[in-house]
Structure 1
């Protein structure tokens, strides 16, 4: 038994050995009795002598003597004869040669090659191995235009296999890869039509100063472009790429290109990216691509490495917001577009009022209030608290009338809106003002509405989002729209009254611009629940020309009292701290010159908490050069002058010099019965002096406040105010023809001893001004 077992094992070993020899003969038919490595095969093949000599000169021939398994695509001599490589330096030549070599686990014979990308031993950005595109559909090609030489492939060697090819595999740039793969042929056509070939082909080698190098490109497949063209055909009738306007096509392609980074899949998956278009898109950890549209795409091929960047194939053309919205403009009707934009309150009201068919079929311009505007509207009217309260046929007809007051027959882009009346399908008119972008309803006590977002297209009309629900005189009584107790102010330039004007943005915090619980005038005010040192920040990117205005005005209310910093254009150093009394609305009229630091345009302003504690502030009637009714008398912790006589022990017997002073003038009074009239003589540099009160020091208080009025015809009066009797103090301008309230931190005054309070004319001209409501606050 033991002998039989040994015999059996010997026979098995012989069979295995024969089988192995047969496998070697099949796999490496040219090994023969004297096996050679790839380097030796190159050295002994006359038609590969140029390649071999190039490897020797580059000192790379030793690589192909190693025991590692390689697949080598060896260009025959004729391929070198047809190429000009004289301009390559040593590093570039080595990289070109390396692009013909694959480091593999098993040898790649012609029969086992498959379509796809393989890394060569050449490198690109960040040291990543360049990709080689192998296409085995029909005749096998490499990078699109290099083929295996018939009957000269599968040259076996001890360390791999060698295939003779008819061309040189030049290290490919992104554009070369796109051109090589037929699945990207439509993308290639789009790149050429959009004029982006230079961007996708420029490399560090050809343009060392190229700011775009390297690139990450998301290349849509042909199927992705087919779907995209289907959408464009439905929207615009465009059937080919050539039909698409060049600027549109370029903006679409720029959504797919990231400059300055070679982001392989491990670096780009699970991130947000900003392409050349500037519009962010995201790539999930699973390779799902999300853009501005409602449909996501997928990365189908990743990490196609070129000399100037990397490509990831995607199955969707990614869209910018503008392109996506333009498609929706042409494919969705007004009803669908209003739904798409999220105007749920208007749609719910239209459905209840039976207006859905109208929105689907008629050509209209629709002024659509935001959902917040509807909430504000329902909180103001007294007869209905919600849309569900419109129940009877008469009430539903009323709701229909309200909505039709927001519709105009025909299509009006914002550029087509003109000053004057605009007839609605309800029959009543709106008044449009092009300067402010404001719509004024026929009911005088209802708020105006401003255009917030314009030119939202639909297949049968145009949508303009507005800030308030418009109320006609015809519907106001039935709605129970209240008559406000106080009217609104008049503005030189309105920023906020019942609604923030168009063109302005809000930053830092999120105020309620439709607050109704505490209002100074009109129907709404701004409510801000703030943390310590937070602010109301309102900006205008175009900027407001300040040359035509003198004051910035607003009303503030604080339940417990506080202090705020008014600053323009982000310049807090030039700002002014204002004291807000507790429990009452206070109007502020601050000279622009005091807080602008010489700026000629207003791009933003802030009212920032200075108390260091959280709280709530209400803001109303914000604007430039606001004209309002009589202001309420201020409340001071230490009054100096309120009416007719000085207060708190201050003395009016000093009077001053260089002028005449009337302590109980009634010519111009901010409130109450009298003010102080100051008539400065010419060339006198005159000053009003108020004697200090015994035992009082200004440093015990936070702000010094007073109001001043420049007599008509006197022009702007430059004034120096101080609290200690010296010529060091705070400079300001008194505005001609209006009352202005000034509030300064006591800390701004060099001398706070209160030996006297002095108002000094710092011009040589004769001037007349009026002073009222002087005092200190904590």
Structure 2
């Protein structure tokens, strides 16, 4: 509390003539200062005075005072001017209770000065110890504070028991040291609204910056953020966050703009390297009055407003957004993070990892483990290897996986209502985006839903889907498969017996296909030299029956067989014995000959082929 006695002594000497005026004869039955303020509706002033302990009693106990009392509207305007929400906030904005006491004391002169006692120009020393200027002109009395602001006396000469009150329309501000703004306040004053939105989007970051001991902030303008949105092809801050890899990377970007120390422009050398809150170094260069900042990518931005002091440091406004090394995951790391273990196994089995990692730009529609499990059920298989067999081998697995990859970057926000993309498989994929989300349609018309969109990776984006997408898969027919396996004698026999058409047209077949050596062994056993001799010796009907004895009118991959021996029907009308022992499969004919399956599970368009090392003989 100020030494009011000293000020009252000085004031009484300065205003001796006014105090001894014939118009002021000592205490009269006037209201107290508090009563007069209440009668005039000056509730905010009373609240402010009461906020300083003992100030009300001190003012009312003094022998002579003149109070320039601001209206409620005047205080409301002061709140707006200081960006305060209420009186308590205003106290904080002006620097605390001590400064509030100085401000209130600046409204009090320790003597009585009625309007008729005023000269054209008056200078009074207030209770705060600072001088106040009062001017009188015809029909007007104005008061000028230390900042040069002018207030008008709205109601003069309200007598109180120890002096007089003049009601004014503005809060008078003395010469006081106002506190520096906080970072948020400084950013608000500078119109950096996008920066504020970005900082508040990261939970706890604003509090961390406000409570830091010392910081230097390189603060991008709204235009700088707008340019960053354009670079990332993002419509707003939310889209930008997605495209840079989520809130964790937004925090890293914002932290890259903050140095945990105070660096005014006058403190800078020609070249400076600072470790930022992101843990990465940023380069700051100074040439004359120009300060430039260089990010991890070598991009340069200029400081357009330097040395804005804040409560815990300094702000330099930048015309660009600085980017650190964001270290986005690659496709394998992203799949691991998302728990897509079956997809990783499939990519590894198909040897596609290198191609995906090395691609310039990709969008991956990544099936969940549950999606792969559903695909296994649909194909009636128990694992990935069996699935590969049923879809036609590793080449077709590559086609399936490639059908999930678009060689371009497409975040969900980049999608139109309907989109057609050419995939790495060379086939088109349809992607539909709407209010309910994003769906993907495969070549068979099946749809899958995107259940986790926009997982940014170092060379594109991943969308997790709830289904496995199927392209058009080209399985060979029986003749093509036999040709590829070089089963030339079998093909000649099929042609001779004229059963090729029936086999190609059958809905579902399993073919036990003898090797060329198997036919050679049969010729030796029959003491014959050629297929033609077999036909002429046994007759075409017998050859046809032999061939039909190798065909089961159903599809049976090796893993579909039960363990042990089982009898299966053939096109010859006789039963064939097939035995599975672990991964080994044998077939036994009517003559009791047992042969091995030497190459199992060659998928064809209407079934499967198992290559065997002998020719099976029915009853002839």
Q: Tell me the TM-score normalized by structure 2.
A: 0.31
Structure that is richer in strand per residue: 1
Bigger relative contact order (CA 8 A; separation at least 6): 2
Structure that is richer in helix per residue: 2
Compare CA radii of gyration and give the structure with the larger one.
Answer: 2
